[in-house]
Structure 1
Amino acid sequence: MAAAELIRIVSRSSPMALAQVERVRAELAALHPGIRTEVVPVTTSGDRWMGDLAHLGGKGAFTKEVDAALLAGEADLAVHCLKDVPADRPLPTGTVFAAYLERDDIRDALVHPGGLALDKLPAGSRIGTSSVRRIAQLAASHPHLKCVPIRGNANSRLAKLHVGEADALLLAVSGLERIGETERISEVLSLDGMCPPIGAGILALQCREDDSATINAVTGLGHHDTWREATAERMFLHVLQGHCNSPIAGYAKAEPDGRLSLRGRVFSPDGKQILDAHEWAGSLSPEDLGTATALALKRQGAHELIAAIPH
């Protein structure tokens, strides 16, 4: 079987996306010193569009052009933030996830220019976020704060904060780590206080399924516990059949002794209804754990709650 000599990695051109690609290039170079890599940049409709993502069909707006470059043979490998890859529909036919890299921090961080923690922000403070997951949880925990929509990559959001478009931001800790901006963090929020999105902190490597040379080259970058967590979480989201306006959150955790659990939550957009489930896999597969946790929330009325949210 032919070994890969050159792997062309397709990437969005934001600093965050390029930082993610550099991590993959470094890990590949350590594992296979003989393989060369090069970056194929694309700009996605999600990057160009500054309005409501729902009008573009939701999260897939960030992945369409990347998928097209892979399928057209213009690139061999794509690096995705797993949280941006829709779980309610399968990957494009002809592509496959060959590996999930070891998971980064899954928590959210508050960025406030004065260094204040969330509980210390004055009433009426404007929190920049367009995430329905964050908006619902803030409405539940801090109803005196006001969410204002903010889009763009993390660097451009930080720039908008600097010019006063918001008083504070909520951003992923892992994203701030990737772009070298952790000194901006005022507070790292607890998982109870701000439950993360499905797939948080996971980079997924996507290839064409018939490209065995690339698949063989990158499979060794995969991390087994991250695969178990990702598999459970994505099945959870798939069974819930949420849409891009549904505030759904959750995370699986693989323990050092091999046990696997999944915490899943569904919110009404105003934060007044919170459904919560926490299941352990026991002898269940990760897929079955995801299904069991979603069904526990459906028994609490998750299907009706999601169906009632306009989209």
Structure 2
Amino acid sequence: MNNLNAKKKILIVGPSWVGDMVMAQSLFKLLKLQSPEMIIDVIAPEWSLPITERMPEVNNSINSLGKHNHLNLKAIFKIARELKTTAYDQAIILPRSLKSALIPWLANIPIRTGYRGEMRYGIINDIRAFNPNIQEQTVKRYAALGLKKTNKELSILYPKLDVSIRNCKRIFKEINVNTERKSIGILPGAEYGQAKKWPASYYSIVVKHYLSMEWNVFLMGSKKDQRDANAIINKTDFMDNDNLFDLTGKTALTDVVDVLSNMNIVLTNDSGLMHIAAAVDTPLVAVYGPTSPEFTPPLSERAITLRKRSGYSRIRVGDADGGYHSSLVKLKPDEVLLELENIYKKYL
């Protein structure tokens, strides 16, 4: 690895999505490994930024005030003026958009590292080309920007989020969880709509199975996932079960980190919360449809991925009833329950 100067100040322009931000921690770890005294600040939209609070490598988290597909020049100029006083030595820009590179450029950060993207010549002055043969995963593309040369196989440091046992105890006390019981986390949501989601009717079978064994079952996700959670609950015979907890839309992102760290096992779609579960080392089974576990796998030694197709598709439109992807419909509950049992026996 290439040593960087001690106490160097670096600004990371982070990704917008929660899962990508979790994977970006591999870059932060690599930078700290090369230079433990380095100061790392991260700027990102408010919806992905809270996860950096649980990354010990991050010194300061900065809200970019960004919105998807919206260029707020007034906010960009304001933040750039404020960041000039910090005198960063380098910026590493993870997204490939023009918008993401503007703040480091306007803040006069001397070295601005990133991949080729939307008309960024000059704005990015340390342009990198990525080698798909050795950077075939998102996490490797991020980590490679922390090295001067990327023509060799990357050794990835897995993300590892800090957890608060005290906060988890508080949450469990508030919702009256019997902590003597085993617990499974169910993560039914995913961005890009139904095509990345395992059918709610299938999830309900898993929920009923674990409730019948007197496990605690936790449904977790954002407000967007409440519809999926309701669909799962409505298909079960245990709607009023004291061991069923629907936390979708009711917790902060940092709360989800702590609750997931206290699950015995997790069942999840390919989603941002999947990456959080992996980063707190909870055994998990992840179901994939059009996306690929080769490209964005859960970064954990205690994860199993299930899939009924090969390759990777950028198309996020389901081809089955309910908007689901046919490959996920083919992945039956019995198969998933078997893998959940296997991973529980293996690690617990």
User: Could you state the TM-score of these two structures normalised by the residue count of structure 2?
Assistant: 0.33
- Which has the larger share of strand? 1
Task: Give the TM-score, by structure 1 length.
Answer: 0.35
